[in-house]
Amino acid sequence: MTSSIKVLALFAHPDDAEFLCAGTLVHLAQRGANIHIATMTAGDCGSTILPPAKITCLRRREAAQAAKLINATYICLEKKDLLIFYDGPTLKQVLELVRRVDPQLVLTHSPVDYMVDHETTARLCQSACFGAMAPNFRTGARRPASVPRAVPHLYYAQPFGGRDIFGQAIQPSVCVDISATLELKERMLACHASQQAWLHAQQEISRPAHPMREMAARAGALSGFRWAEGFRQHLGQGFPQDNLLSNLLGDLARSIET
Ligand SMILES: [Zn+2]
């Protein structure tokens, strides 16, 4: 059923996708979907000891290894950490990526998140999904991809910690049961070995699996699954209104009443 589906998971930094939606990506990959994981940056600020050139090299490799576990491709748009801006050149780059992948399903950050890089990525992703169909929008790519025929289904992952910057809980509209894919999600996350030291130094998180499990348990409690990932679908004008994620995953996805 999902064999012809193309999925783009576009997140700001290496390991964001694994943290926030890998359990769902594993399900989609197991059903034959073609998965593309993209990050805006190569995570140049993700080290206290290595210089940018070294840490980015390491993190691109870690991200590619994680993607390989589900036969996904990994693409880096080579922006810099804390310097992801909503501007013309960046939007052209993201829009070209959307045209090139031509996904039916796009997963990205919550538009409300603790980190501006994440929020900006969500805004860029929204505009790119909406604007990709407009032939008059030229990206300036050397060999531009063709213009897609439909706007993809866009879903926002939960923000880290499930809260906005004022501490208010963000309620997902759909939760995906990841009980069967949690182990592989953790293996994907573990590919980002450089980040375990960084998280420990910066946020006193000694095991990256731990806060991820907390999020998965919280989404699980909301939806009646043991472990889950939560999403909100973009339902603004011009975007598809049917719940593709639920249609693809059947009983594994549950809508949450708000
Ligand atoms: Zn991030």
How many angstroms does the Cα of residue 59 sit away from the middle of ligand 1? 13
pLDDT for residue 204: 59
Judge whether 91 and 130 are in contact, CB under 8 Å. no
How many angstroms does the Cα of residue 32 sit away from the middle of ligand 1? 27
pLDDT for residue 4: 84
How many angstroms does the Cα of residue 204 sit away from the middle of ligand 1? 16
Identify the CA nearest to 208 among candidates 229, 230, 186, 227: 186
pLDDT for residue 22: 98
How many angstroms does the Cα of residue 13 sit away from the middle of ligand 1? 4
How many angstroms does the Cα of residue 186 sit away from the middle of ligand 1? 17
> Phi and psi for 80 in degrees, rounded to 5?
-110, 145
Read off the pLDDT of each residue in 150-160 and give the average, rounded to a whole number. 97
Q: Is 19 helix (H, G, I), strand (E, B) or coil?
A: helix
Task: Give residue-wise pLDDT tens across range 107-147.
Answer: 999 999 999 999 999 999 999 999 999 999 999 999 999 99
How many angstroms does the Cα of residue 116 sit away from the middle of ligand 1? 9
How many angstroms does the Cα of residue 15 sit away from the middle of ligand 1? 7
Going by pLDDT thresholds of 50, 70 and 90, the confidence category of residue 183 is: very high
Bridge partners of 253?
A: 176
The DSSP secondary structure of 122-136, one letter per residue, reads: HHHHHHHHHHTT-TT
How many angstroms does the Cα of residue 123 sit away from the middle of ligand 1? 15
pLDDT for residue 195: 85
How many angstroms does the Cα of residue 1 sit away from the middle of ligand 1? 32
Identify the CA nearest to 114 among candidates 183, 52, 64, 161: 161
Burial status of residue 21 (CB atoms within 10 A of its CB: 0-12, 13-18, 19 or more) = buried
How many angstroms does the Cα of residue 111 sit away from the middle of ligand 1? 13
The DSSP secondary structure of 224-241, one letter per residue, reads: TSSSEEEEEE--STTS--
Task: Give residue-wise pLDDT tens across range 24-72.
Answer: 999 999 999 999 999 999 999 988 889 999 999 999 999 999 999 999 9
Average pLDDT over the chain reads 94
For residue 9, what are its two tokens? Answer: 């998971």
In the predicted model, is pLDDT for residue 198 greater than 90?
no
How many angstroms does the Cα of residue 136 sit away from the middle of ligand 1? 32
How many angstroms does the Cα of residue 254 sit away from the middle of ligand 1? 26
pLDDT for residue 211: 87
pTM, rounded to two decimals: 0.94
In the predicted model, is pLDDT for residue 179 greater than 60?
yes
pLDDT for residue 200: 64
Distance of CA 51 to the CA centre of its chain: 26
Q: Which residues contact 101 (CB under 8 A, 6 or more apart)?
A: 6, 8, 36
How many angstroms does the Cα of residue 12 sit away from the middle of ligand 1? 5
